[in-house]
Structure 1
Amino acid sequence: MPTIQDVARLAGVSTATVSRALSGSRPVGADLTRRVQEAASQLGYRHNALAQALRTQRSRTIGMVVPQISNPFFPLLVEAVERRLQIDGVDLLLCDSHYNLDVEARRLRTLTDRHVDGIIISPLHATDSAPAIRTAAGLVPVIQIDRQVEGLAGHWVGVDDAVGFGQLVDLLVARGRRRLVFVSSELDNSSARDRAQAFEKSLARHGLEAAAPALLGRFDVSWGLEAARRLVEDFGDSGPSAGARGAGSGSSGSRSGAGGYGGPDGVVCGDDLIALGVLRGLSRAGVSVPDQVAVTGFDDIAFAEISDPPLTTMRQQWDVMADECARLLRQDPAGGSRRIAIAPLLQVRGSTPRSLPR
């Protein structure tokens, strides 16, 4: 098996230069780097990054754990973080916890065993994720992103839900909608809880109450479809809650579709996936968006702009979040905990009315 000494002899440089050129720990000229890389390739030498990490206590890698990479929200976040870390010459090790607390804990142990320099995690659960994250934070710097564990000291970077849902509710009210309902995930993670609270506070600012109890399920399209089905059934002419349609009158009363829809005139969703399901479910039932019901999402994933109709939503500033994570990772761990809430950007599209009804 070739050694670092073999590479140094073939390249005509010192072993220290070989180490620097292959690890990127210190600047090396382009010509020297190319000679070392060619020599290593010719000999079949592979740089042992783990051994270097054990010697230097620096692996130049950051671990990241997300609940479900198939959710389009998380690839956008991961891509922004990975792109930002590359600027600092740091690699990203990505783990998917598959919405399983045991898997989440195992992923964290794996990353600390690999001597990563820090971990960025979006926790599965607002309380049950605490033990595993606390253990990891005792070994390496940990930054919570998007979601957070209650009562756990440390850094957090995420979206300002109060600003985001405040703007969405303001938009709907300004365009004549008064009977609003919230459709989101079960309140078992901080993101779901914060968004539900933000929705209720935003309604209260306008002197309004929700037109119906919140529908809570999962952050996915199938739940949005189910929520739309329930709305149409509950507020159709023959639905069990038909009497509720008179509450909060003052906006569009037109009805069409299965059973004659007369329920909430605005559906505020906890994320874009739910909103896309709601759009599809209302369309199947013959309920017109936005004429009868306005629909909003949150996140601005790629599918939001090409849905039918295009989805009004809040765009998260992924790059800003990534920049803040990189900055916090460079800080002295003794510098205290920081909470950084980044305002999202309103994207108004066809799923909400363009103006007040005439």
Structure 2
Amino acid sequence: MHRVTIADVAARAGVSTATVSRVLSGRGPVSDAMGRRVRSAAEDLGYQVNTIARALRDGRTGTVGMVVPSITNPFFTSLVESVEHVLGQEGKELFLCDARSDAEIEARRLASLVARNVDGIIVSPSHGTESGRAVQETADRLPLVQLDRFVGGTETDWVGVDDIAAMRQVIDHLHAGGARSAAFVGSRLTNSSTEQRLSGFRRRAADTGMTVRDEWILLDDYTVEWGEDAVAQLATGAAFPDAIVCADDLIALGVTRACRAHGISVPAEVQVTGFDNIQFARLGEPALTTVDQPTDQIAAEAVRLLGAVGGTSRAHIALVPKLVVRDSTRGGDSAPKGDSAPGGER
């Protein structure tokens, strides 16, 4: 089968190959009428731009790699969707890799993307220290932006949400709703997200005089099952907290489910909050009060920073979060109540 070439398009349009090249690449002055003529000829013939040749000529492939800790986590699924949408608006394609929450797998994924000559990489590191070497080595070779999570000691741009400010909103809301003691349920302290959220939780709880017992700090994994196990542990203690602050919505959904199983009323006996505002948060029983992560804005900033990489200064953009109040807490005046869409307005 004959492969349609730029010469075929030029012959159909009755112009030179140089004119066709200017029209299809968007480079150089061409009249609107001429542009329409060339594009019509290309469409009629089914001409497709040779992306390999263009990449060799321009030194760019129009592709961006993205590595996330776990694509099964609904928050990262939403984040990937937002990044892909932003890249699509710029005519770029996304190559997605799942690190499976393993720093070694993540390092291989990063190396694979570099070998495929992507124009840049967006990564949410799996581990707060073990991911450092691969992330920095990759950043030394091509533009790289960390988002949501970050690795300390690396020299890259980063964009995410202000976890400390988020915990301030959560604790203030719970306190306004009558909570005077609180537990924290999160993942192991191997990533910046949990580290920052726990730090913000402890700090604001101390500021408000809220009681936090050592045995009420429960850390394991970002899963529904861990939320259920955490409630089972809390239920065997000498006292039960007035509130349970969860590091993500999956944990919180497990917590509310386990509370029902143990006959603990939410929010009458214990208030529960999540983090991320995933789609399932508003479908829980009761619907979760949670911190909304503006995934569309995070994605837009990450793509913008990726295109701006090259200077000596590094951007650290912490976006302001929003607390979405639903039925798993007792209210108060610290945040508006509603069912905003996950990941900000869409």
Q: Flag whether TM exceeds 0.5 (same fold).
A: yes
Give the secondary-structure state (helix, strand or coil) at the position aligned to 1:334.
Answer: coil
Partner of 1:302: 279
What one-letter code is carried by the residue in structure 1 that aligns with 2:130?
Answer: D
Find the aligned partners of 1:25 and 1:277 in 2 and give their Cα distance.
Answer: 55
Q: CA deviation at 1:332?
A: 4.9
Q: CA deviation at 1:13?
A: 4.4
Find the aligned partners of 2:271 and 2:135 in 1 and give their Cα distance.
Answer: 39
Q: CA deviation at 1:201?
A: 0.7
Q: Deviations over 1:319-344 (max 9, x none)?
A: 22122112212325124101000011
Say whether the 8 Å CA contact 1:53–1:115 is kept in structure 2.
Answer: no
What one-letter code is carried by the residue in structure 1 that aligns with 2:245?
Answer: V
Give the secondary-structure state (helix, strand or coil) at the position aligned to 1:230.
Answer: helix
Alignment CA distance shift 1:21-1:277 (3 Å): farther
Q: CA deviation at 1:19?
A: 4.7
**Where do residues 39-50 of structure 1 align in structure 2 (5 Å cutoff)?**
39=45, 41=46, 47-50=49-52
What one-letter code is carried by the residue in structure 2 that aligns with 1:194?
Answer: Q
Q: CA deviation at 1:101?
A: 2.1
Partner of 1:216: 219
Partner of 1:289: 266
Give the secondary-structure state (helix, strand or coil) at the position aligned to 2:216.
Answer: coil
Q: CA deviation at 1:38?
A: 3.0
Q: CA deviation at 1:216?
A: 0.5
Q: CA deviation at 1:10?
A: 4.5
Give the secondary-structure state (helix, strand or coil) at the position aligned to 1:340.
Answer: strand
What one-letter code is carried by the residue in structure 1 that aligns with 2:227?
Answer: G
What one-letter code is carried by the residue in structure 2 that aligns with 1:140?
Answer: L
Find the aligned partners of 2:125 and 2:168 in 1 and give their Cα distance.
Answer: 25
**Where do residues 1-358 of structure 1 align in structure 2 (5 Å cutoff)?**
2=3, 3-10=5-12, 12-19=14-21, 29-39=35-45, 41=46, 47-211=49-213, 212-232=215-235, 234=236, 241-242=237-238, 245=239, 263-354=240-331
How many percent of aligned residue pairs carry the same amino acid?
Answer: 46
Give the secondary-structure state (helix, strand or coil) at the position aligned to 1:298.
Answer: strand
Give the secondary-structure state (helix, strand or coil) at the position aligned to 2:189.
Answer: coil
Say whether the 8 Å CA contact 1:22–1:37 is kept in structure 2.
Answer: no
Give the secondary-structure state (helix, strand or coil) at the position aligned to 1:203.
Answer: helix
Find the aligned partners of 2:26 and 2:74 in 1 and give their Cα distance.
Answer: 33
What one-letter code is carried by the residue in structure 2 that aligns with 1:36?
Answer: A
Find the aligned partners of 1:277 and 1:132 in 2 and give their Cα distance.
Answer: 34
Find the aligned partners of 1:123 and 1:57 in 2 and give their Cα distance.
Answer: 27
Find the aligned partners of 1:267 and 1:5 in 2 and give their Cα distance.
Answer: 68
Say whether the 8 Å CA contact 2:9–2:38 is kept in structure 1.
Answer: no
Say whether the 8 Å CA contact 1:21–1:36 is kept in structure 2.
Answer: no
Give the secondary-structure state (helix, strand or coil) at the position aligned to 1:350.
Answer: coil
Say whether the 8 Å CA contact 2:86–2:299 is kept in structure 1.
Answer: yes
326-335 or 305-314, which deviates more = 326-335
320-329 or 135-144, which deviates more = 320-329
Alignment CA distance shift 1:47-1:352 (3 Å): same
Q: CA deviation at 1:96?
A: 1.4
What one-letter code is carried by the residue in structure 2 that aligns with 1:34?
Answer: S
What one-letter code is carried by the residue in structure 2 that aligns with 1:318?
Answer: T
Give ranges in structure 2 of 5+ residues lacking alignment: 334-346
Alignment CA distance shift 1:332-1:221 (3 Å): closer
Aligned residue-pair number: 326
Q: Deviations over 1:169-198 (max 9, x none)?
A: 111111111110000000001111111111
Q: CA deviation at 1:354?
A: 3.2
| Aligned residues: CA RMSD | 2.2
Alignment CA distance shift 1:110-1:173 (3 Å): same
Find the aligned partners of 2:153 and 2:136 in 1 and give their Cα distance.
Answer: 11
Find the aligned partners of 2:119 and 2:72 in 1 and give their Cα distance.
Answer: 26
Find the aligned partners of 1:66 and 1:50 in 2 and give their Cα distance.
Answer: 27
